[in-house]
């Protein structure tokens, strides 16, 4: 095991979920790129999970990638922690252990970015802003009365967990025309993101099944919007916004995520594909409308982060998902404080892919400089070298 307690460079620790593999860390590819880019920026990067935090021993056990292979390592509390743990229970355990470790060492525990609460709370925050309220679909918390009401007013409803990610455990309930004894159709994705479907003979039967599926997990309900391409593919637009080396919000890039024909979601983890945004929207809506929509996406992507920071504290990066219906109406679907960035690699946007990895490191260095200026070496890297 490599001992990194005496490492001279400032350290960024990447907290990830536990994985069932020889290297038990989630997002190993992303961590590998962070480690490689960190070397060029003068920042030591190591990945770890909740199990590797040992407050009583005053150390963290994690992993670094060197010479083409992963190695175990041990280190003290990093100057900055980049929280990429998407498992709620693991994340809670990790934060508790990190606080204990920080208390034992008499050092601050500083995260690169705060987290957002559930989808309902974020929706309420955005809805109160007059510049955003018109772009938000009607959203209510799950209940029998709300489900019945929205189902009676719209062609169908979409249900998703307040803390869900990657399209898992989402549901779509619709009335079917001329369906005989089964007027209600349900499509969904399970916890493993695999699709399923059911039909029901009554609202009560459908509600009882959904309530059993949801159990006690908080859900939200929205009208089923027609967010499909002309060929019947569900699609949305992902915008990645990140803070740069000066702590300023920057739009790293945007890309379309397109799902399978007739599918429920467009998430890449659910089988979706990434597409270049400008060409895709031009084909769907024509040049003028596509240009107008892209301009509004750019504007909203820069407007939303300060709104959320004013309510939830300092943030470092956000993934903002937009839907566009067949009339060209733009909808704000979701904001995620632990966004993925695979879309840029998939569409061949090398500059966007490199920036998506480098900006968390540049922002971490900015925070480190504010905390311990003497410990940071500014170096001579130019912007072109950082993002090459």
Decide if pLDDT at 387 tops 60. Answer: no
Q: How confident is the model at residue 178 (pLDDT cuts 50, 70, 90)?
A: low
The CATH class given to the 119-137+228-348 domain equals: alpha beta
Which of 174-178, 237-241, 353-357 shows the lowest mean pLDDT across its residues?
174-178
Decide if pLDDT at 53 tops 70. Answer: yes
Task: Choose between 86 and 98: higher pLDDT.
Answer: 98
Q: Are 30 and 38 in contact (CB under 8 A)?
A: no
113-133 residue pLDDT tens: 999 999 999 999 999 999 999
pLDDT value for 164: 73
- Opening angle at CA 318, ends 312 and 319, nearest 5: 135
123-160 residue pLDDT tens: 999 999 999 999 999 999 999 999 999 999 998 999 99
What backbone phi and psi angles, to 5 degrees, belong to 372? -135, 75
pTM: 0.90
Question: What does the block give as tokens for 245?
Answer: 């080396």
362-384 residue pLDDT tens: 999 999 998 754 333 333 333 33
Q: How confident is the model at residue 269 (pLDDT cuts 50, 70, 90)?
A: low
Q: How confident is the model at residue 49 (pLDDT cuts 50, 70, 90)?
A: very high
What backbone phi and psi angles, to 5 degrees, belong to 207? -60, -45
pLDDT value for 380: 35
User: Is residue 372 packed enough to be buried (19+ CB in 10 Å), middle (13-18) or exposed (0-12)?
Assistant: exposed
Q: Measuring CA to CA, which residue among 356, 359, 355, 361 is closest to residue 376?
A: 361
The pLDDT mean for the chain works out to 90
2-111 has which fold?
Rossmann fold (3.40.50)
Residue 293 to residues 131, 215, 248, 283, Cα–Cα distance (Å): 16, 38, 24, 13
User: Is residue 364 packed enough to be buried (19+ CB in 10 Å), middle (13-18) or exposed (0-12)?
Assistant: buried
β-bridge partners, 141: 220
């Amino acid at each position: 095991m490599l001992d990194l307690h005496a490492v001279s460079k400032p350290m960024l620790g990447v907290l990830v979920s536990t994985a069932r593999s020889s290297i038990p860390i989630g997002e190993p590819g992303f961590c590998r790129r962070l480690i490689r880019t960190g070397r060029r920026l003068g920042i030591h990067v190591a990945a770890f999970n909740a199990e590797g935090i040992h407050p009583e021993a005053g150390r963290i056990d994690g992993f670094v990638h060197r010479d083409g292979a992963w190695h175990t390592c041990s280190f003290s509390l990093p100057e900055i922690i980049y929280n990429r743990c998407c498992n709620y229970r693991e994340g809670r355990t990790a934060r508790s252990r990190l606080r204990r470790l920080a208390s034992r060492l008499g050092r601050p525990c500083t995260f690169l970015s705060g987290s957002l609460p559930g989808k309902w709370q974020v929706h309420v925050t955005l809805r109160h802003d007059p510049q955003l309220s018109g772009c938000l679909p009607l959203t209510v918390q799950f209940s029998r009365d709300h489900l019945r009401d929205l189902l009676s007013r719209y062609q169908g409803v979409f249900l998703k967990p307040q803390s869900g990610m990657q399209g898992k455990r989402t549901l779509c309930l619709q009335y079917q025309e001329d369906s005989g004894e089964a007027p209600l159709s349900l499509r969904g994705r399970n916890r493993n993101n695999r699709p399923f479907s059911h039909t029901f003979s009554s609202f009560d039967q459908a509600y009882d099944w959904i309530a059993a599926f949801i159990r006690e997990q908080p859900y939200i309900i929205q009208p089923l919007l027609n967010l499909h391409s002309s060929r019947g593919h569900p699609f949305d637009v992902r915008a990645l916004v990140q803070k740069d080396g000066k702590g300023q919000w920057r739009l790293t890039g945007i890309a379309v995520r397109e799902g399978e024909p007739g599918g429920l979601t467009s998430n890449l983890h659910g089988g979706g594909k990434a597409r270049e945004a400008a060409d895709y929207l031009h084909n769907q809506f024509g040049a003028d409308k596509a240009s107008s929509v892209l301009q509004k996406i750019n504007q909203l992507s820069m407007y939303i982060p300060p709104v959320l920071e004013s309510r939830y504290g300092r943030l470092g990066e956000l993934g903002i998902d937009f839907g566009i219906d067949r009339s060209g109406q733009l909808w704000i679907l979701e904001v995620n404080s632990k966004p993925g960035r695979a879309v840029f690699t998939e569409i061949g946007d090398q500059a966007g892919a490199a920036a998506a990895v480098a900006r968390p490191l540049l922002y971490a260095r900015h925070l480190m400089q504010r905390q311990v200026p003497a410990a940071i070496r500014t170096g001579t890297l130019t912007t072109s070298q950082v993002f090459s």
